[in-house]
Amino acid sequence: MTRLIPSSAITPESLYTRRGFLGIAGALSAATLLAACGRRATEPTLSGEQPASEPRDELDDPLNSFEQITNYNNYYEFTTDKQEVARLATSFRSSPWELEVGGLVARPRIFALEDLLAFPQEERIYRLRCVEGWSMVIPWQGFPLHQLLRMVEPLPTARYVRFETIFRPEEMPGQRDRYYPWPYIEGLRLDEAMHDLTLMATGLYGRTLPPQNGAPVRLVVPWKYGFKSIKAVVRIELTEQIPTSLWMAMAPHEYGFYANVNPEVAHPRWSQASERRIGELGRRPTLPFNGYADEVAMLYSGMDLRRNF
DSSP 79-124: BS-TTTHHHHTTT---SS-EEEEEESBSS-EEEEHHHHHHSPPEEE
CB of 193 to other proteins, least distance (A): 25
Compute the least distance from the CB of residue 226 to other proteins, in Å: 12
Summarize as ranges the residues that interact with other proteins (CB under 8 A): 67-68, 71-72, 80, 82-83, 132, 134, 179, 250-251, 266, 269-271, 273-274, 276, 278-279, 281-283
What Cα–Cα distance (Å) separates residue 286 from each residue in 136, 137, 217, 226? 12, 14, 28, 14
Minimum Å distance from CB 134 to other proteins? 6
Instruction: Give the C-alpha separation, 193 to 146, whole Å.
Output: 7
Nearest Cα to 290, choosing from 185, 165, 133, 179? 133
Cis peptide before 183 (omega within 30 of 0): yes
Closest CB to other proteins among 32 and 83? 83
Q: Please, what is the minimum distance in Å from the beta carbon of residue 176 to other proteins?
A: 15
- The residue (of 71 and 239) whose beta carbon lies closer to other proteins is 71
Q: Which is nearer to other proteins, 41 or 278 (CB)?
A: 278
CB closer to other proteins, 103 vs 214: 214
**Burial of residue 282 (number of CB atoms within 10 Å: 0-12, 13-18, 19+):** exposed
**What are the distances in angstroms from CA 3 to CA 107, 161, 239?**
21, 27, 30
Which amino acid is located at 23 in the chain?
A: G
Q: Rounded to the nearest whole angstrom, what is the least distance from the CB of residue 68 to other proteins in the complex? A: 4
Which of residues 102 and 133 has its CB atom nearest to other proteins in the complex? 133
Provide the 8-state DSSP code for 23.
G
Considering the complex, what minimum distance in angstroms separates the CB of residue 135 from other proteins?
10
Choice between 221 and 265, CB closer to other proteins: 265
Are the beta carbons of 176 and 168 closer than 8 angstroms? no
